[in-house]
Structure 1
Amino acid sequence: MTDRVVARYWIETAFPLADAAATMAGEQSTGTFVRTPGESDELRERHAARVEEVEEIGAVATPSLPGSGLPRSGESVRRAAYVTLSWPIENFGASLPNLLAAVAGNLSELKAFSGLKLLDLQLPPIFLDSYRGPQFGVAGTRRLAEVWDRPLIGTIIKPSVGMSPEATAEQVKLLLSAGVDFIKDDELQADGPHCPFDQRVPAVMRVIRDHAERTGKKVMYAANLTGEIDEMLARHDLVLREGGTCVMASMNAIGLPAMKVLRAHSQLPIHGHRNGWGMLGRSPAIGMSFIAYQKLWRLAGIDHTHVNGIDNKFCETNESVIASARECLTPMFPAPYKGCEVMPVFSSGQSAKQAPASYAALGSADCIYAAGGGILGHPSGPAAGVRALQQAWEAAMAGVPLADAAKEQRELRDALATFGA
């Protein structure tokens, strides 16, 4: 189905499953609640969404969401199922906003469903005619950071807000001396009056340039340029003039069209922050999975995106985290089309102890491994915290148990004692 968009859903309904699936297809293509004069057989044949598959899961005891209805038959048993629909690309063209209206528009409001969630998308390569996808991705990020055979060890400027540009630069100076590969602004800090972007970035880049002149290593700093489109383009240009090697944008805050514009303008990797994704992904009964979500943003042009982390401080399961990370490294399109792979970013309560499980589950070192407390909270200081993370990943990649590696490496031993083996 190279000329069709395919979407897979989880649904919950008291209606016959085939009828419920047909309702989904009709609502999001040619149909409405009654047959209209303009809905000819020929038009339906060409433009109607198709039900490709319905796979029943089983009965559910209670409705997952309020407000759902029952069929006129009086049937009250609700069942869950997987439903796959497809649309002809000519319904909306190679347009992500209009694609989103089709695959995730009014569906979640339909009264026939007490649960409905978008799980995955398969898109035809024609989208690459309209969208550039990642400009740097994994290989370009590694080239700029000059880190080749292990994860990029990263961290976040904390506290998230409240520091002046000068205080922010001082913290970055400390992190640079610790040996990190990647530093990012917090998503809460973009252009606040207490720390304006056009003052913060020059202050931070001065210390990064000084460090690079002394050591030969330019650390990647993802400056949060989130804002209106014209503001973001101007902020990108400031980062570029200052010698920066990355910019960051909050994806949900700016939207897909703005990301497309930023990608077309950018000469730097775009660190896509997913803050707000929990509103879409946390409930098992509504919204969309990160698997589907990240495909939209990869096409729009991000180069990195957060996937949470193993045993994270949030509510996401390890299985979901790893599935998301693997998907970021999985090509979206078959050869000879480019794959649009992006760098997954592990974060949220990460320390040396999660490195073996992260590597074993991901099967790759292609990631940014970001730790805040896992670096700054090390009892011997940030440099020991960075070294402990490097040691943990070296051991994991060599197949050496952390406990054995820690016998010979004090930084790792102290990290495991502090953060838990």
Structure 2
Amino acid sequence: MTARFTVTYRLFAADRAEALARAEGIALEQTVEIPRDVVPPGFIEDEILGRVQEIGTEAEGQWRATVSYSPQSCGAELPQLLNVVFGNSSIQRGIKVIGLDLGPLTKAFPGARFGVGGLRRLADLERGPFIAPVLKPQGSSAAQLAETAYLCAMGGAHIVKEDHGLTNQPCAPFRDRVEAIAEALARARARTGRPCLYFAGLAGHSEELDDMAAFAVRAGVDGLLLMPGLFGFDTVHRLARNDRINLPIMTHPSFLGPYVLSSDTGFSHAMMFGTLQRLAGADISVFPNVGGRFGFTAQDCAAIAAACGDPAGIGRAILPSPGGGMSPERGAGMLAMYGEDAVFLLGGSLLRHGARIGEAIADLRNGLAG
């Protein structure tokens, strides 16, 4: 019998018998999708059919069920793997995905190309958190965004990333914007001797993303920002595995909220913003920080960070990147919560400093270093 991968679900049921029935239903639904009594004997029943491996109590009315699946159910295709993990069952209430063990699929899905160690080498940052201002707002010209990037780099930012709302709008078209920002950051590095990694956002028509990524490489960007909620996890996976691109990937949570916000359906926060991002090949996972405007709790954020950094997780450990409502004043608290292996995003609050934005970043950097 071949080795199998496993998925762990949180089931909402009145008792163990109901939970077991639900788990057995998932095992059928996610594989053969036919009644149990008509499952053909032999290979399909013995190999393809999902198997309930374990049922345990989590809390009152909540059960933890582990179901194993054959790697032959999905091969090496990420969309089909996700389909087996939660396809049709995602349309049912009372089921939440909370764990994934790839088992024999580990080699097929190696995870991040760079991970924490690779990003530290690129940023020449041996230790300490990454400070990452966000280039915004939408409506700015390419020249304005480039000037902001330059000031941030001069102030000691380790990364500048484009806001996810910057796509290919007429005010700052992708190619003009990328060239201007890359040139500005090259000037800053020539003056400071420090790298400031530039993550350019890929957005527009899906069929253009590969060409946009190739252009970004030629322009000298250091990483790519992608939105798996809009373009799919397989797009992230494809670009992360592309040897000609060979850039770290940062993923943004836009459009992913409905997957986690329900208490009894979807994915756990750790699964969505930790495990699945690692599965797709992201090196940095952006998510809303506690205390901001999005309502994630400290427990949610801690679980995400743990999933990103778990040495037993998929591939290399990656960097959690909390953001949303962030400010330099919260830096010390963030360091205490997330530790050094994190990317701290700073957005709208920095714009209050205007032309002195670099000084604010320098103050934050000095505060975190001391």
Other-structure match for 1:339: 315
Tell me the matched-pair count.
365
- Give ranges in structure 1 of 5+ residues lacking alignment: 60-78, 396-421
In structure 2, the residue corresponding to 1:84 is in which secondary structure?
strand
Please tell me whether residue 81 in structure 1 is matched to residue 82 in structure 2.
no
Q: Distance in 2 between matches of 1:57 and 1:291?
A: 17
State the match for 1:118 in structure 2.
97
Q: 1:306, 1:346 within 8 Å by CA — same for their partners in 2?
A: yes
Which piece of structure 1 moves more, 273-282 or 366-375?
366-375
Could you say which structure has the greater relative contact order, defined with CA pairs below 8 angstroms and 6 or more residues apart? 2
2:247 maps to which of 261, 268, 275 = 268
Deviations 1:61-101 (A, max 9, x none): xxxxxxxxxxxxxxxxxx43222211122222232211111
Work out the CA distance in 2 between the residues paired with 1:4 and 1:249: 31
Q: Distance in 2 between matches of 1:8 and 1:254?
A: 26
Q: By how many angstroms is 1:230 displaced?
A: 4.8
Structure 2 partner of 1:141? 119
SS at match of 1:32: coil
Relative to structure 1, the CA distance from residue 124 to residue 226 in structure 2 (aligned partners, 3 Å threshold; closer, same or farther) is farther
Q: Distance in 2 between matches of 1:229 and 1:262?
A: 12
Contact 2:271 2:304 in 1 (8 A): no
The aligned counterpart of 1:103 is 85
One-letter amino acid of the structure 1 residue matched with residue 316 of structure 2 = C
Q: Conserved in 1, the CA contact under 8 Å of 2:5 and 2:104?
A: no
1:241 aligns with 2:218: yes
Matched with 2:48 is 47
Structure 1 counterpart SS, 2:56: strand
In structure 2, give the amino acid aligned to 1:100: L
Partner residue of 2:4?
Answer: 4
Mapping of 1:20-39 within 5 angstroms? 20-33=22-35, 35-36=37-38, 39=40
In 2, Cα distance between equivalents of 1:170 and 1:358: 27
1:319 and 2:287 are equivalent in the alignment: no
1:169 is aligned to: 146
Q: Looking at CA atoms only, which structure, 1 or 2, has the larger radius of gyration?
A: 1
Instruction: Pick one of 277, 282, 286 that aligns with 1:297.
Output: 277
Whether the 8 Å CA contact 1:225–1:249 is kept in 2: the answer is: yes
C-alpha distance in 2, partners of 1:274/1:45?
Answer: 39
Give 1:269's aligned amino acid: P
The equivalent of 2:191 in structure 1 is: 214
TM-score after normalising by structure 1:
0.79
Structure 1 residues 6 and 132, CA, compared in 2 at 3 Å: closer, same or farther? closer
1:97-152 CA distance string (max 9 Å, x none)? 11111121111334xxx421111111125342x34422222122122222222111
Maintained 8 Å contact 1:299/1:340: no
What CA distance in whole angstroms lies between the structure 1 residues aligned with 2:157 and 2:58? 47
More divergent stretch after superposition (1-10 vs 198-207): 1-10
* Unmatched tracts of structure 2, length 5 or more: none
CA distance in 2, matches of 1:331, 1:35: 42
**Matches of 2:246 and 2:170, distance apart in 1:** 27
The one-letter code of the counterpart of 1:223 is A
Give 1:168 shift.
Answer: 1.7
CA distances 1:8-28 after superposition (whole Å, capped 9, x unpaired): 112224672222222121222
Distance 1:83 1:167 in 2: 52
Letter of the 1:210 counterpart: R
Cα offsets for 1:267-303 (capped at 9, x unmatched): 2211122212211011111111232233333233221
Give the C-alpha shift of residue 3 in structure 1. Answer: 2.2
Partner amino acid, structure 2, of 1:152: F
Q: CA deviation at 1:42?
A: 5.8
Q: Distance in 1 between matches of 2:345 and 2:278?
A: 20
Match of 1:400 in 2: none
Task: Tell me if structure 2 keeps the 8 A contact 1:205–1:243.
Answer: yes
Shift of 1:57: 4.6
Return closer, same or farther for 1:42/1:302 CA change in 2, 3 Å cut-off: closer
Aligned-partner residue type, residue 27 of structure 2: A
**Residues 154, 192 of structure 2: 8 Å contact kept:** no
What's the CA shift for 1:7? 1.2
Q: 1:340-419, aligned counterparts within 5 Å?
A: 340-362=316-338, 364-377=339-352, 381-395=356-370
User: TM-score of the superposition, structure 2-length normalised?
Assistant: 0.89
Q: Is the 8 A contact 1:227 1:254 kept in 2?
A: no
Is residue 113–residue 241 contact of structure 2 (8 Å, CA) maintained in 1? no
Q: Work out whether 1:154 is the aligned partner of 2:132.
A: yes
Asked whether the 8 Å contact 1:30–1:48 carries over to 2, the reply is yes
From the superposition, tell whether residues 351 and 96 of structure 1 become closer, same or farther in structure 2 (CA, over 3 Å). Answer: same
CA contact (8 A) 2:11 2:19 kept: no
What is the deviation of 1:203?
A: 1.2
1:35-56 per-residue CA deviation (whole Å, 9 max, x = no partner) reads 22x5226632322211122224
Mapped partners of 2:52, 2:126: distance in 1: 45
SS in 2 for 1:322: helix
Give the aligned CA root-mean-square deviation in angstroms: 2.6
- Asked if the contact 2:271/2:307 (under 8 Å) is kept, the reply is no
